[in-house]
Chains A and B, each alone.
Chain A
Amino acid sequence: MFIVPRLVTLYIMLVVCGVIVLQIERAKRGAGIKIRRIPALEAMTEVVGRATEMGRPVHFTAGVGNLTTRGAQAMMASLEILSYLSEMAARYNSKIITTVAQGDVYAVSEEIIKGAFIRAGHPDAYSPDMIRYLSDSQFAYAGGIAGIITREQCVANVMIGHFAAEALYIAESAHLAGAVQIAGTTNMYQLPYLIAACDYVLIGEELFAAGAYFGKNLVDLGALSGQDFARLFAVALIIIGVALGTVGNKWLTDFLAFK
Chain B
Amino acid sequence: MRRSLPVLIAIVVGIGMVFDLFLKLPLLNNPMAEVRNWMPIMTSFAVIVGCVGLLNVHYKNIQRKRPGWYNSVILWAVMLSVIALGCTKGTRDATYSFIFNNVLVASSTTLSAVGALFLASSGFRAFRATNTNATILLISGALVMLAQVPIGEAIYGQIPNIGNWIMNVPNNAGQRGIMIASGVGFITVCLRIMLGYTRSYLGGGE
> Are A and B co-members of a single complex?
yes
Residues of chain B within 8 A of A207, CB atoms compared:
182, 185
User: Contact between B39 and A68 (Cβ–Cβ < 8 Å)?
Assistant: yes
> Does the CB pair A100–B50 fall under 8 Å?
yes
Contact present for B198 and A80 (CB under 8 Å) = yes
Complex Cα spacing A17 to B192, Å: 10
Q: Is B23 located at the chain interface by the 8 A CB criterion? A: yes
A window 195-228: CB within 8 A of B: 195-197, 203-205, 207-208, 211, 215, 217, 219, 223-224, 226-227
Within the complex, what minimum Cβ distance (angstroms) separates A87 from chain B? 7
Q: Are A103 and B46 in contact (CB under 8 A)?
A: yes
Q: In the bound complex, do residue A165 and residue B43 qualify as a contact, i.e. CB atoms below 8 Å apart?
A: no
Q: Within the complex, which residue of B24, B187, B195 is in contact with A13, where a contact is CB–CB below 8 Å?
A: B187
Q: Is the CB of A231 within 8 A of B178?
A: no
B49 to chain A: which residues have CB within 8 Å?
103-104, 106-107, 133
B residues 156-204 in Cβ contact with A at 8 Å: 175, 178-182, 184-193, 195, 197-198, 200-204
- Cα-based distance from A137 to B82 in the complex (angstroms): 15
**A204 & B187 in contact (Cβ 8 Å cutoff):** no
Nearest Cβ on chain A to B169's Cβ, whole angstroms? 13
| Interface: A67 (CB within 8 A) | yes
Task: Closest B residue to A115 by CB, please name it.
Answer: B204
Chain A's interface size range is: 35 or more
Of the candidate stretches A3-11, A31-39, A44-52, A243-251, the one touching chain B is A3-11
Q: Is A171 an interface residue (CB 8 A)?
A: yes
Residues of B within 8 A of A7 (CB): 22
Q: Quick check: is A134 within 8 A (CB to CB) of the other chain? A: yes
Nearest Cβ on chain B to A11's Cβ, whole angstroms: 10
Residues of B within 8 A of A66 (CB): 43, 46
What number of B residues sit within 8 Å (CB to CB) of A?
63
Distance from B195 Cβ to chain A, minimum over Cβ atoms (Å): 7
> B189 to A103, Cβ gap below 8 A?
no
Interface residues of B, dominant DSSP? helix
B68 within 8 A of A: yes
- A contact residues around B56 at 8 Å (CB): 128
A171 near B46: Cβ-Cβ < 8 Å: no
Chain A neighbourhood of B206, CB < 8 A: 83, 215, 217
A102 close to B (CB within 8 Å): yes
A163 to B104, alpha carbons, bound, how many Å?
20
Q: Are A230 and B122 in contact (CB under 8 A)?
A: no
Report the Cα distance A67→B197, complex, angstroms. Answer: 17
Contact partner, B122, options A10, A110, A197, A226, Cβ 8 Å: A197
Contact A77 B189 (CB under 8 A): yes
CB distance from B179 to the nearest CB of A (A): 6
Using CB atoms, name the residue of chain B closest to A193. Answer: B122
Given the complex, which residues of A lie within 8 Å of B23, measured CB to CB? 1-3
Q: Which residues of B contact A (CB under 8 A)?
A: 18, 21-25, 39-40, 42-43, 45-51, 53-54, 56-57, 60, 68, 104, 107-108, 111-112, 114-115, 118-119, 121-123, 125-126, 175, 178-182, 184-193, 195, 197-198, 200-206
